């Protein structure tokens, strides 16, 4: 980085002196790097310009990684031997121009972006990351899973990628480490083996009739066979929520009895699901336990929040996941939910008190298209939690009470005490079909524990750290 700066200062020197004014006009280190990038592009425009334009996305896809969509990009090392043909030629050129760097020798030599500052100062790289953040997050997670698979001894029956992940990787151009490709190929072979074994078992069990009765597609049927041997659960992403004190209820002064009286509640540290539980997660539970698959309203399954699940279904899922993982999962309490939604403060909606900004954070009547959205598509709140306002209503642990009179102030669930009706449980947050008023963090509704609908889902919580 110092070399880039000094080079530009030397070119623009006056009376043989390097000037601080020139440094400021350049825009500091980032500006100097930008000038260097422009010079490199201009110098090589005739020789490899078109070729570079075609292969740069493949290089960026491999050498940039992003942990989460709101996170900043960082450098990713890749074996130099992975780059061949036109891609390898452009990589060599960029190494010579100091935009990429190498470490190690021979077959162990690696390539990486020269410095984190290039994510800001290299226009083509910056634009690529901004347009492809989700794909980069997915690839980063995939490589992390591939590494865990390697550490487990590369088992053929556990921790493997799904068919959807394989297809997404192929659609993105197939760029990635050799380990990632091995991981995906092993996963594909395993699915094929499961397919052969699964179909054999299904035939023995009268499989065609069974599939028809359950309404399973082929992937779901293979998951059922796999669940007979290993756990097929998905570990949820949990976020640590710090201890804090907040005012729960009608802090806006709206006056409805069921939001009152406002009281000060102390919340011990706990963990909450970063996203609402998805069909992908819940379907594995339903398949493993023989429960019916919830209706997706023909909107799609996968990463959309699961709907048409009752409070009883949500509790059963939490218990199944707890047994599968050895960790204690539960539904959040009403106090925990509101504290998390308000980010420990008095935000009217989760993430904002400015209604003009709400569409940036919430899926609701104004922008939903009359259906759910994939979880995490909107911005998170201060606690890095998504969709607490909108998308789907969320079941919580607490029993029905018409007001907060006599409610606990320690963050615990309010059950039978003070005449609680536990045949009904509270739901919070509003959903895709509701107006902004209904999405307020203070709003409370309830439903019977066996009730389910296309607008209610849930998310998980844990006591303490994840």
CATH number for position 346: 3.90.1580.10
| pLDDT of 155 | 74
| pLDDT of 40 | 72
Tell me which of 75-84, 259-268, 369-378, 399-408 is least confident. Answer: 75-84
pLDDT > 90: what percent of the chain?
48
Nearest to 329 by CA among 340, 317, 338, 341: 317
Rg of the chain (C-alpha set): 27
Q: Over the chain, what is the mean pLDDT?
A: 84
Tell me which of 49-53, 80-84, 203-207, 272-276 is least confident. Answer: 203-207
Tell me if the pTM is above 0.85: no
Q: Of 227, 261, 283, which one is at a domain's C-terminal end?
A: 227
| pLDDT of 150 | 81
| pLDDT of 90 | 85
- The pLDDT of residue 453 is above 90: yes
Shared-domain flag, residues 300 and 419: yes
| pLDDT of 7 | 61
Beta-bridged to residue 424, according to DSSP, are: 448
Provide the residue range defining the domain that includes 197: 154-227
| Cα–Cα dist 147/165, whole Å | 16
| Number of separate helices (H) and strands (E) present in the chain | 16, 14
- Whether 284 is covered by a domain: the verdict is yes
Shared-domain flag, residues 433 and 323: yes
Q: Structure tokens of 211?
A: 């599939």
Q: Structure tokens of 300?
A: 């799609």
| pLDDT of 368 | 96
Shared-domain flag, residues 114 and 258: no
Cα–chain center distance at 155: 26
- The pLDDT of residue 97 is above 90: no
Q: Structure tokens of 103?
A: 């470490």
- The pLDDT of residue 203 is above 60: no
Tell me which of 46-50, 379-383, 391-395 is least confident. Answer: 46-50
Report the pLDDT averaged over residues 177-200.
68
- Whether 148 is covered by a domain: the verdict is no
- Whether 208 is covered by a domain: the verdict is yes
pLDDT digit string (tens) for 319-330? 999 999 889 999
- The pLDDT of residue 23 is above 70: no
**Residue 441, number of CB atoms within 10 A of its CB:** 29
Strands 456-457 and 393-400: parallel
| pLDDT of 364 | 98
| pLDDT of 375 | 96
| pLDDT of 255 | 93
pLDDT > 70: what percent of the chain?
80
Shared-domain flag, residues 265 and 395: yes
Q: Of 196, 227, 258, which one is at a domain's C-terminal end?
A: 227
pLDDT digit string (tens) for 206-248? 554 555 566 788 788 778 878 877 889 989 999 999 999 999 9
| Cα–Cα dist 455/433, whole Å | 8
- Whether 108 is covered by a domain: the verdict is yes
Tell me which of 24-33, 57-66, 429-438, 441-450 is least confident. Answer: 24-33
Provide the number of structural domains found in the chain.
3
Shared-domain flag, residues 406 and 283: yes
- Whether 411 is covered by a domain: the verdict is yes
């Amino acid at each position: 980085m110092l070399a880039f700066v000094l080079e530009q200062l030397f070119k623009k020197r006056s009376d043989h002196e390097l000037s601080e004014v020139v440094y400021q006009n350049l825009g500091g280190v980032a500006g100097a790097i930008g000038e260097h990038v422009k010079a490199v592009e201009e110098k090589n425009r005739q020789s490899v310009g078109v070729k570079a334009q075609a292969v740069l996305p493949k290089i960026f896809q491999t050498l940039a990684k992003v942990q989460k969509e709101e996170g900043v990009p960082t450098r990713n090392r890749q074996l130099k031997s992975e780059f061949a043909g036109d891609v390898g030629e452009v990589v060599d050129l960029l190494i010579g121009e100091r935009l990429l760097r190498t470490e190690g020798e021979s077959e162990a030599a690696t390539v990486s972006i020269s410095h984190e500052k290039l994510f800001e100062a290299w226009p083509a790289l910056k634009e690529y990351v901004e347009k492809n953040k989700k794909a980069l997050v997915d690839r980063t997670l995939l490589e992390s899973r591939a590494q865990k698979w390697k550490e487990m001894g590369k088992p053929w029956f556990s921790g493997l990628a799904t068919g959807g992940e394989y297809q997404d990787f192929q659609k993105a151009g197939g760029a990635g480490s050799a380990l990632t490709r091995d991981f995906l190929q092993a996963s594909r072979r395993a699915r094929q083996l499961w397919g052969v074994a699964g179909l054999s078992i299904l035939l023995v069990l009268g499989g065609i009739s069974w599939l028809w009765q359950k309404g399973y597609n082929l992937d779901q049927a293979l998951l059922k066979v796999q669940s007979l041997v290993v756990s097929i659960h998905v570990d949820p992403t949990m976020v640590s929520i710090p201890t804090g004190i907040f005012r729960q209820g009608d802090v806006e002064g709206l006056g409805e009895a069921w939001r009152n009286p406002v009281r000060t509640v102390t919340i011990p540290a706990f963990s909450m699901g970063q996203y609402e539980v998805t069909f992908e997660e819940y379907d594995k539970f339903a398949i493993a336990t023989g429960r019916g698959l919830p209706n997706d309203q023909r909107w799609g399954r996968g990463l959309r929040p699961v709907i048409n699940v009752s409070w009883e279904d949500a509790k059963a899922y939490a218990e199944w996941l707890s047994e599968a993982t050895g960790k204690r999962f539960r539904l959040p309490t009403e106090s925990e939910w509101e504290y998390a939604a308000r980010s420990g403060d008095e935000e009217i909606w989760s993430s904002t008190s400015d209604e003009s900004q709400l569409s940036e954070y919430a899926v609701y009547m104004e922008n939903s298209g009359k259906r759910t959205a994939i979880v995490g598509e909107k911005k998170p709140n201060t606690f890095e939690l998504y969709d607490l306002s909108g998308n789907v209503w969320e079941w919580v642990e607490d029993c029905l009470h018409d007001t907060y009179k006599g409610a606990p102030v320690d963050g615990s669930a309010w059950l039978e005490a003070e005449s609680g009706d536990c045949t009904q449980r509270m739901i919070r947050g509003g959903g895709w079909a509701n107006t902004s008023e209904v999405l307020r963090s203070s709003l409370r509704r309830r439903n019977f524990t066996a009730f389910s609908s296309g607008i209610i889902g849930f998310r998980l919580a844990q006591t303490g750290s994840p």
